[in-house]
């Protein structure tokens, strides 16, 4: 059952738990104003015991550098708790942002949330973050 955790005029965040993964779906703009809300929402989920996340960005219409910074902050917090993180549903535009920032090779990016949640999470998958583990670099 999807639960809304942030509602803002230009952005909404909700989550659901699927196959051991907490799927966080962001819908709208991720900018200097909304990024801190996303960070706090995910940190609250971590503090509640969630460890393995899929961040679904399929409905993100805009992301600035603050949004990328929040991605790093969220990743660090999840890593501190021996969790894992996958990014899902990136549009071509969002993939370009990840490419330009150099962040694409640091994350496991899946075409959809469904694909990201097919396998059960493995603790400590962020052990080598921000550098990819051997064999996971894009071609």
For residue 69, which phi and psi values (nearest 5 degrees)? -65, -35
- Distance CA(35)–CA(29), nearest Å, equals 9
Model confidence at 6, in pLDDT bands (50, 70, 90)?
Answer: confident
**Residue 135 confidence (pLDDT):** 45
Selected residue with higher pLDDT from 64 and 137: 64
The pLDDT of 87-107, averaged and rounded, is: 91
Q: Say how many residues make up the chain.
A: 139
Model confidence at 128, in pLDDT bands (50, 70, 90)?
Answer: low
- Distance CA(15)–CA(21), nearest Å, equals 10
Alpha helix segments (H runs only) across 1-139 = 35-47, 65-80, 92-101, 113-116
Model confidence at 75, in pLDDT bands (50, 70, 90)?
Answer: very high
**Residue 127 confidence (pLDDT):** 59
**Residue 137 confidence (pLDDT):** 44
The pTM of this model reads 0.85
**Residue 8 confidence (pLDDT):** 79
Alpha helix segments (H runs only) across 6-64 = 35-47
pLDDT tops 50 at residue 22? yes
- Distance CA(40)–CA(45), nearest Å, equals 9
Contacts of 89 (CB under 8 A, 6+ apart): 56, 57, 58, 59, 110, 111, 112, 113
Task: Provide the mean pLDDT of the chain.
Answer: 87
Residue percentage of the chain with pLDDT more than 90: 66
């Amino acid at each position: 059952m999807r639960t809304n955790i942030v509602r803002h005029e230009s952005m909404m965040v909700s989550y659901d738990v699927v196959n051991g993964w907490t799927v966080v779906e962001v819908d709208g703009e991720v900018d200097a104003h909304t990024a801190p809300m996303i960070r706090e929402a995910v940190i609250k989920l971590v503090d509640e015991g969630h460890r393995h996340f899929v961040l679904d960005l399929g409905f993100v219409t805009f992301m600035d550098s603050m949004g990328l910074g929040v991605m790093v902050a969220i990743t660090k917090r999840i890593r501190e708790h021996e969790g894992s993180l996958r990014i899902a549903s990136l549009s071509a535009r969002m993939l370009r942002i990840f490419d330009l920032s150099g962040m694409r090779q640091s994350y496991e990016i899946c075409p959809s949330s469904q694909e990201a949640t097919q396998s059960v999470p493995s603790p400590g998958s962020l052990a080598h973050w921000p550098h990819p583990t051997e064999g996971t670099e894009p071609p």
